[in-house]
């Protein structure tokens, strides 16, 4: 697909986009912007986006994709509860992952990839099971790290975004490819901003013990 065909397809899809799709995209962008600001409102905003997206995917008969979004929904609820917990507040300040957390994230990616690949390859008519499984599994790990407020969440999410952009173009979904490009850029700034938050926190004087 050359640039002219891609642009034609994009504007054609844009003209056919429903209000529900615009709302799903709008809340999705808001979620990432709020995550960049380390703001708890990213979760209710994200939940709305996920529910709207699940409705659209189900209507399009993309049942496997609909089921995959249930994970994002569960992780969003989990993250919201975790962030709201006052007892966990100190523990859940933005920070780098420790070795155990990073290992868990890698295992989520690897295990999720194997499970999703097998399901997509054997139980669906997906023509991109490897690609689709990789995009989803790395995003799963990113969402788990986001719930823990670990800065590496941006790395995992952007690995997913990087592979999702050409996948969406391949699937002739240019509007969502553009959205994912926006999310990719926002995630880069999110990483930079969280890094500044961590540096500021670590450079603050520790309270004296009495």
Backbone angles phi, psi at 127, to 5 degrees: -100, 0
Q: What is the three-class DSSP state of 6?
A: helix
102 contacts: CB under 8 Å, gap ≥ 6: 152
In angstroms, rounded to a whole number, what is the distance separating the alpha carbons of residues 103 and 97? 9
The C-alpha R_g of the chain, in whole angstroms, comes to 18
| Per-residue pLDDT at 11 | 72
- pLDDT band (50, 70, 90) for residue 48: very high
Write out pLDDT tens, residues 127-157. Answer: 888 988 898 899 889 989 988 889 999 999 9
Mean pLDDT in the chain? Answer: 83
170 vs 99 pLDDT, higher one: 99
Contact 193, 184 (CB under 8 A): no
- pLDDT band (50, 70, 90) for residue 88: low
- pLDDT band (50, 70, 90) for residue 206: low
Q: Does the pLDDT at position 179 exceed 90?
A: no
Instruction: Name which of 67, 30, 59 is nearest 46 in CA terms.
Output: 30
Statement: the pTM of the whole predicted model exceeds 0.85 = no
Q: Taking the CB of residue 164, how many other CB atoms lie within 10 A of it?
A: 26
């Amino acid at each position: 697909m050359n640039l002219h065909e891609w642009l034609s397809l994009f504007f054609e899809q844009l003209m056919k986009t429903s209000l529900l799709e615009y709302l799903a995209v709008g809340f999705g962008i808001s979620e990432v912007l709020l995550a960049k600001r380390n703001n708890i409102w990213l979760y209710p905003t994200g939940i709305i986006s996920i529910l709207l997206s699940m409705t659209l995917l189900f209507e399009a008969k993309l049942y496997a994709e609909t089921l995959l979004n249930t994970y994002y929904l569960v992780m969003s609820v989990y993250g919201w509860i975790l962030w709201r917990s006052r007892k966990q507040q100190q523990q859940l300040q933005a920070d780098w992952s420790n070795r155990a957390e990073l290992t868990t994230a890698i295992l989520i990616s690897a295990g999720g990839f194997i499970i999703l690949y097998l399901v997509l390859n054997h139980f669906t008519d997906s023509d991109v099971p490897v690609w689709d499984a990789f995009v989803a599994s790395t995003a799963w790990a990113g969402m788990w790290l986001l719930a823990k407020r670990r800065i590496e969440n941006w790395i995992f999410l952007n690995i997913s975004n990087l592979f999702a952009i050409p996948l969406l173009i391949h699937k002739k979904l240019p509007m969502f490819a553009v959205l994912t490009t926006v999310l990719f850029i926002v995630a880069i700034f999110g990483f930079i901003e969280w890094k500044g938050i961590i540096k500021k926190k670590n450079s603050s004087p520790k309270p004296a013990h009495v």
